[in-house]
A and B are shown apart, each in its own frame.
Chain A
């Protein structure tokens, strides 16, 4: 059975991956909360799954395809409507540091 205990460090790490800025107080507060959630979910590990194939999807269906036919795009003002900041036809974001042009693909 997996150990549901987690460390402050792990919570800090997950927060960083989620781009959440948490204070030390918050980390101390959330760690036991996350731990109790994990404890609850860990119950599922008690089920004997010997010989059971991993399930890729809850529904017994596959190959739901779309034909390759282009559809409409949103008008530019709709595209940018929810953006906190824009620059002409672009979304404007804080400077992404580093010479790497694109995200980690």
Chain B
């Protein structure tokens, strides 16, 4: 019978994230970086670690990493270098991985995520460093047949991998998933990774331990366990939640704090499974790679990368709500991906009212995107044409509902002034007062009956009169017709 009672416990979760960068070539060699290619078809002498090969840094991979670092509020190291992490494993032909040990490219960041109670939770980023990925070990034959050996595909070996390590600031599994999802949005927004979970572009490894306070006030700290290679948001959340409970119950039932170790997730049984106790860090015998020279990031380079990043989603959402006056929902929709936000900003910059442009894009634009199965920003709509259409609506030259939608639809195929298209489609409303006057005069002359009805007090006849004017002379601005008619009859 257990005499241990948990008065309360604190959850400490940190997250390690590996992100595959979407460069075209590998990290230290020109072999292509691609997904879904035939086994061992993206391999050159450098990937094989053949004698005499030398690594050369991929500039874009360094820039992508700095961009992610900046987005996570990190300090970017003005001076950084490469280290060899030595270990023998069949997915690593060189027998060492080029990584960054004591001088990571990015460090000391903070990133805010929304918490479930509506408050903001700040997660500290310890570091983000660049390294090369290993190849893939396969334990069953293609088609799923069991084999009593392991086969190796080196297509992934040597591709650029960004490792991000947070401080143990998460206190709930939900926060961990929220952070992971926000990070996915950021890497996609920056265009540095496709961030497709099912393709393994992002892999998560939560490290978890508890501070359990017992009935006498003594704090028991469970050993940190790491769950390896989780690549879906739901599994990340489930595995974290499970491991918290496993550690708590292990302590409650046996009093054991456990050993620092690595766990895996068994998806079928939905439990974490012990894999191995951790090797000491110094077993990797890190030392500076003599084949690679250091990287110096100066202010000019950093400023250029900041310029390329532009405005991040969170800042853009904030600006759309606070300065442009959009609703939070509309702001979030427009700022969700970079290209839609850019299209909105450029249309407004072309000289149209922001709210009108937002409405156009979120109503007709979104409908057209759904119909064509393409993202809004890929519909090939030109910002200046969107602005023209928005202005036509604001000038009462076209009705905002169906007619404006038709013009936008035509703009997908034809790049011509919106007014010209509206005119070709017969959708322009005339605001020509003399034409309206003439139409009203003609109406009065031809239809004395509804006019008398209206004058004798039948307000309902007014709508009929407007309809008659509109019918007689198509394309008149209904608002102006109403105004003029009222004046005339008044």
Contact = CB atoms under 8 A, between A and B. Distances in A.
Interface of A: 17-19, 56-59, 61-74, 76, 79-80, 82, 87-96, 98-105
Contacts of A64: 56-57, 293
Interface stretch (B88-96, B331-339, B347-355, B467-475): B88-96
14 contacts: A18-B88, A59-B293, A63-B295, A65-B56, A66-B59, A68-B61, A69-B30, A71-B30, A71-B44, A76-B40, A94-B150, A101-B136, A103-B89, A103-B92
Given A69-B24, A91-B40, A104 B87 contact: yes
B330 to A, nearest CB: 37
Given A91-B151, A92-B150, 18 more contacts: A56-B103, A58-B290, A63-B294, A65-B56, A66-B30, A66-B59, A67-B60, A68-B59, A69-B24, A73-B43, A76-B38, A92-B151, A94-B149, A95-B149, A100-B262, A100-B276, A102-B91, A105-B163
Contact of B58 (A61, A62, A66, A103): A66
B38 A89 contact: yes
Contacts of B133: 105
Given A57-B294, A63-B293, A71-B31, A17 B151 contact: no
Contacts, number: 167
Contact of B25 (A69, A79, A90): A69
Given A79-B40, A89-B40, A105-B134, A67 B91 contact: no
A78 to B, nearest CB: 9
B183 interface: no
B314 interface: no
A71 B33 CA distance: 10
Contacts of A93: 90, 149-152
B40 A68 contact: no
B228 interface: yes
B293 A62 contact: yes
B196 interface: no
Interface string B286-299: 00101011111000
Contact of A57 (B92, B149, B154, B288): B288
Contact of A62 (B45, B142, B148, B295): B295
Contacts of B141: 87
Given A96-B137, A103-B92, A87 B151 contact: yes
Interface in B338-389: none
A57 to B, nearest CB: 5
B296 A63 contact: yes
A17 B92 CA distance: 14
B178 interface: no
B229 A102 contact: yes
Contacts of B56: 64-66
Nearest to A64: B293
A92 to B, nearest CB: 6
**Residue of A58, A76, A101 with most partner-chain B CB within 10 A:** A101
Contacts of A71: 25, 29-32, 44
Contacts of A103: 87, 89, 91-92, 134, 137
A79 B139 CA distance: 20
A84 B66 CA distance: 41
B455 interface: no
A68 B25 contact: yes
